Amino acid sequence: MTSRSVYHFNSIIAREPARSVVDGLRAQYRGSPSYAGVKAEHDAYLAAMRAAGVEATVLPALEAFPDSIFVEDPALVFTEGAVVLRPGAATRVRETEEIAPTLRDLFDTVLDLPTGYADGGDVLTTQESVMIGLSARTDRAGAEALQACLDELGRKSKIVETPEGVLHFKTDCSLLDEETVLSTNRLARSGVFQNFRQMLIPEGEEAAANALRVNEVVMVGADFPRTIEMLDKAGYKVVALKTTEIGKIDAGLSCMSLRWFSRGKGG
């Protein structure tokens, strides 16, 4: 596995938000998002992705599935192939049936998680391994089944703990480069990133941890000025994107795409 596969991407899958997105799942009430607001944030996200150098496959909205804009949870994708997951929220389970045909069109190898539950939001791909966070949405049976799938794809993995009360592992962290993670203090204290250089989120901006490195840029929620300043001073090329509306339904930047490097597209 080369460093290219960690954050160098030329392909993504995304899905248009449905009007039902206003009914998306949330762990705590922060006000309801507006469809127009979510659509505007999603459009800006796709524009930033294309500017970063990826080709986007954008799937149509699914009104029956309010959270289906968040394509990262029902599947995982890598250069070597894809895994159809088993989402841990009952209302999201059948999203896999909707995205699987696209995966089978785009990948030669598509595996199905055979048992347990696992959300893509609990999975962080690093140079060292694929980290699978146990959470309310990813149980140990699902994590172990996912490890077997990853092994079949030739990917090393390890299971880690997500702090109590955190929805997804990647709610509290993201990869900045091969050696560096952006993390909340509560996740850093768990010791899961002891082999990495860690940049800690300023107090009060914890939601900024779900940033997204794509090629030469780091996408960060625009509502988090201290985090943006910290990353800018550290030499990262930051692209600030509004996440106010999607944040109301417990989402961040990684949630809205499946990202991989397709060898078929050159480079």
Instruction: Identify the pLDDT of residue 265.
Output: 63
Tell me the one-letter amino acid at 262.
S
Terminal-residue alpha carbon distance, the chain: 15
pLDDT tens-digit series, residues 116-150: 999 999 999 999 999 999 999 999 999 999 999 99
**Average pLDDT of span 206-214:** 97
Considering the candidates 42, 149, 173, 255, report the single residue annotated as catalytic.
255
pLDDT tens-digit series, residues 53-103: 999 999 999 999 999 999 999 999 999 999 999 999 999 999 999 999 999
Q: Tokens 């192939």 correspond to what residue?
A: 81
Instruction: Identify the pLDDT of residue 132.
Output: 98
> Where do the domains of the chain lie, and which CATH numbers do they carry?
4-265 (3.75.10.10)
Q: What is the percentage of the chain residues whose pLDDT exceeds 90?
A: 91
Is 8 an active-site residue? no
* Kind of pairing between the strands at 197-200 and 180-183: parallel
Considering the candidates 42, 149, 168, 173, report the single residue annotated as catalytic.
168
* 50, two tokens: 């294309």
The rounded Cα 22 to chain-centroid distance in angstroms is 20
Under the banding of pLDDT at 50, 70 and 90, the label for residue 250 is: confident
The mean predicted confidence, pLDDT, of the chain is 95
Is 168 an active-site residue? yes
Closest to 70 (Cα-Cα) out of 131, 136, 14: 14
Helix (H, G, I), strand (E, B) or coil at 30: coil
Instruction: Identify the pLDDT of residue 165.
Output: 85
**Stronger pLDDT, 30 or 19, i.e. the higher one:** 19
